[in-house]
Amino acid sequence: MARVYNFSAGPSMLPEWVLKRAADELLDYQGTGQSVMEMSHRSKEYEQIMDACEAQLRQVMGIPDNYKVLFLQGGAWTQFSMVPLNLLNGSGKADYVVTGQWATKAFQEASRYGACKEVASSKDKTFSYIPKLDPSTFTPDADYFHICLNNTIYGTTWNTLPDTGSVPLVADASSCILSKPYDVSKFALIYAGAQKNMGIAGLTVVILREELVGHAREGTPTMLDYAIHVKNDSKFNTPPTYAIYILKLMLDWIQQEIGGLTAMEQRNREKAAVLYDFLDQSKLFRGTVEKADRSLMNVPFVTPSAELDAKFLAQAKAAGLVNLKGHRTVGGCRASIYNAMPKEGVEQLVALMDRFEKENG
């Protein structure tokens, strides 16, 4: 069967280049006579993969030397508590901007540990925009300030970062990491599950400023203390070995095939424009997000009725364009067009939307 174009929000599609490399090396990784899946995480062969992965991530993202890179498990969800357990240790206060469901979960989870404040929210309009911030409402002595950098479910993104002064800025970058260059030095901590834009499920990457390490709250479980993982080079317990290897292949692809994150962004912009340009002139389909805050990665859209949405989704699936259903909490349609989605996938989607509009408009 031909491969489909998979618009899933995550786990999501991978570049064929990566899948083929993984397939080629599946039984015998570079003459070792073993699969990467079978390797001890403490073997020399595996340590080389993990070291190269970190070095390449540092190079691709431009991560400064005073930042640690951790390869953990537990998903972004675990970071919702790991961040407060490690950072909410001074004033015990933190600021959160509530721009969607993930930001809400992060806020609720952190609120179990301290005085967390919702400094702004876009809930009044179903999270269809990034709220304007009033710095006078920020908590001056907050231990950190948290944002969700790209809102996977609602399709908004921060194009301008909040200026938090000396308060450390923490970002959930699960659905936009590696989609374009970000200035890492503007953040104190970035975390991301790998299964959206960096590889496969099972790996969570945390990038954090050195001085944030080593101040976990009393009673923090060992596995949730950043210092433990820093001290053990992410090998305190067994790391997600195969997922780290896939991230390394993704980085090979970005470096060797794409040409780095500036080129990646260019590609992603052109790709997203195909869909947004269509939505902007369509009389049947409508994008649900304010233009200035549109995500390059997740594009939610609707027809005038739930029945037409369902009819469109069925036709798309039959045409090999799959997983276009909106998040179960919002309905409608959503095209997740991460790094691995080729422009042809979006062009085929738009061609189908155009046909559908002519037949149903």
Note if 233 is an active site residue.
no
In angstroms, give the least distance from the CB of 42 to ligand PLP.
Answer: 26
Residue closest to ligand PLP, measured at CB = 75
In angstroms, give the least distance from the CB of 305 to ligand PLP.
Answer: 28
Find out whether 131 and 120 touch, Cβ atoms under 8 Å: yes
Among the options 95, 143, 158, 172, which is catalytic? 172
Instruction: Please report where in the chains the tokens 């015998």 appear, as a residue.
Output: 28
Find out whether 122 and 98 touch, Cβ atoms under 8 Å: yes
Per the rule left: phi > 0, alpha: psi between -120 and 50, beta: everything else, 190 is beta
In angstroms, give the least distance from the CB of 199 to ligand PLP.
Answer: 12
Among the options 68, 180, 196, 248, which is catalytic? 196
Q: Count of alpha carbons within 13 Å of 257, Cβ hemisphere only?
A: 15
In angstroms, give the least distance from the CB of 222 to ligand PLP.
Answer: 20
Element (H, E) at 81: helix 75-87
Instruction: Please report where in the chains the tokens 């996938």 appear, as a residue.
Output: 345
In angstroms, give the least distance from the CB of 7 to ligand PLP.
Answer: 14
CA-based torsion, 8, 175, 83, 246: positive or negative: positive
Q: Between 148 and 216, whose beta carbon lies closer to ligand PLP? A: 148
DSSP string across 251-305: HHIIIIII-SHHHHHHHHHHHHHHHHHHHHH-SS-EE-S-GGGB-SSEEEEE-SS
**104 three-class SS:** helix
Instruction: Please report where in the chains the tokens 């389909």 appear, as a residue.
Output: 285
Instruction: Give the chain's length.
Output: 361
Phi, psi dihedrals of residue 315, rounded to the nearest 5°: -65, -40
Q: Between 80 and 312, whose beta carbon lies closer to ligand PLP? A: 80
Q: Between 172 and 293, whose beta carbon lies closer to ligand PLP? A: 172
In angstroms, give the least distance from the CB of 58 to ligand PLP.
Answer: 22
Q: Between 174 and 282, whose beta carbon lies closer to ligand PLP? A: 174
> Which residue, among 327, 320, 319, 316, has the nearest Cα to 285 in the 3D structure?
316
Residues that bind ligand PLP (CB under 6 A): 10, 75-77, 102, 148, 152, 172, 174-175, 193, 196
Q: Between 54 and 172, whose beta carbon lies closer to ligand PLP? A: 172
> Which residue, among 294, 296, 300, has the nearest Cα to 335 in the 3D structure?
300
In angstroms, give the least distance from the CB of 358 to ligand PLP.
Answer: 34
Q: Between 7 and 278, whose beta carbon lies closer to ligand PLP? A: 7
Q: Between 68 and 196, whose beta carbon lies closer to ligand PLP? A: 196
Note if 77 is an active site residue.
no
Distance between CA atoms of residues 298 and 230, nearest Å: 32
Spell 227-253 as b/e; 16+ CB within 10 A means b. bbbbeebbeeeebbbbbbbbbbbbbbb
Note if 172 is an active site residue.
yes
- Active site (catalytic) residues: 102, 172, 196
